[in-house]
């Protein structure tokens, strides 16, 4: 499928909140509970349809353990969107959000679109963070908010696409300087030798709802 833009995303958040699972659900539409822990950064991509344009999302999945934070920071730069994930069944992962937000503000481009994701919403019987708290935090920090389940795929699609839509809006408003590669957005110039081997590409039209 053809696409007009490439957006660079980064997924961040505490250890074991389900970052890699969100990515896998989005790119491959499957859930793997015993996923190898992420070392440094890993990578996934998929083309989606946003505002009648094809957009290729290049998603960088990061290690959550705090020891890896310094290497993770070098990937913040040049990302147009960030998915900041916490686990609704684990209060501490929510408590650390401020730290993550500060980190993002300090090391990323200023126009970055951030979506706050409360993951594991299928485990609502073990919920420790109420939806309202997530909403309030997002409101206070100017973030998009959504609760997802990487396991049941609830809202996963939405989380990625809402971010893309917001970035598209910002492009239309002229917020981004697209000549600067560090903004995390590339206009796609079709090359004759374009390699369409992105095996993670899948049907971009399918959306899911909570």
- Closer to other proteins at the Cβ: 68 or 176? 68
Query: What separation, in Å, do the N-terminal and C-terminal C-alpha atoms of the chain show?
Result: 27
- Closer to other proteins at the Cβ: 43 or 139? 43
Nearest to 112 by CA among 8, 34, 205, 31: 8
The DSSP element (H or E) to which 100 belongs, if any, is helix 97-107
Please, is 93 exposed, middle or buried when counting C-beta atoms within 10 Å of its C-beta (0-12, 13-18, 19+)? buried
Q: Three-class SS of residue 16?
A: coil
Q: Does 68 bind other proteins (CB under 8 A)?
A: yes
Q: Does 96 bind other proteins (CB under 8 A)?
A: no
Where does this chain touch other proteins (CB under 8 A) — which range of 38-46, 47-55, 97-105, 168-176?
A: 38-46
Q: Does 121 bind other proteins (CB under 8 A)?
A: no
Q: Does 19 bind other proteins (CB under 8 A)?
A: no
Where does this chain touch other proteins (CB under 8 A) — which range of 8-16, 48-56, 114-122, 164-172?
A: 8-16
- Within a 10 A sphere around the Cβ of 178, how many other Cβ atoms? 12
Token pair recorded at residue 144? 């998009």
The DSSP element (H or E) to which 42 belongs, if any, is strand 41-50
φ/ψ region of 174 (left if φ > 0, alpha if ψ in -120 to 50, else beta) reads left
Q: Does 65 bind other proteins (CB under 8 A)?
A: yes
Q: Does 123 bind other proteins (CB under 8 A)?
A: no
Q: Are 80 and 185 in contact (CB under 8 A)?
A: yes
- Closer to other proteins at the Cβ: 20 or 155? 20
Q: Does 45 bind other proteins (CB under 8 A)?
A: yes
CB of residue 135 to other proteins, shortest distance in Å: 26
- Closer to other proteins at the Cβ: 21 or 146? 21
According to CB under 8 A, which residues from 177 to 206 bind other proteins?
181, 193, 195, 199
Cα–Cα dist 56/66, whole Å? 29
Cα–Cα dist 74/90, whole Å? 27
- Closer to other proteins at the Cβ: 40 or 95? 40
Note the residues at the interface with other proteins (CB under 8 A): 8, 15-16, 33-43, 45, 58, 63, 65, 67-71, 74, 77-78, 181, 193, 195, 199
């Amino acid at each position: 499928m053809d696409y007009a833009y490439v957006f660079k995303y980064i997924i961040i958040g505490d250890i074991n909140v389900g970052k890699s699972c969100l990515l896998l659900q989005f790119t491959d539409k499957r859930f793997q509970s015993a996923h190898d822990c992420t070392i440094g950064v890993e990578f996934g991509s998929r083309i989606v349809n946003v505002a009648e344009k094809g957009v290729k999302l290049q998603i960088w999945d990061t290690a959550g353990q705090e020891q890896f934070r310094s290497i993770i920071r070098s990937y913040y730069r040049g990302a147009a969107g960030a998915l900041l994930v916490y686990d609704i069944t684990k209060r501490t992962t929510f408590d650390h959000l401020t730290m993550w937000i500060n980190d993002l503000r300090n090391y990323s481009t200023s126009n970055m679109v951030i979506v706050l994701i409360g993951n594991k919403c299928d485990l609502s019987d073990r919920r420790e963070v109420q939806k309202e708290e997530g909403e309030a935090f997002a409101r206070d920090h100017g973030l998009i908010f959504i609760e997802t389940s990487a396991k049941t795929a609830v809202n996963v699609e939405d989380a990625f696409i809402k971010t893309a839509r917001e970035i598209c809006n910002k492009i239309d408003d002229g917020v981004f300087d697209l000549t600067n590669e560090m903004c995390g957005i590339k206009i796609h110039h079709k090359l004759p030798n374009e390699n369409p081997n992105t095996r993670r590409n899948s049907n971009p039209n399918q959306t899911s709802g909570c």
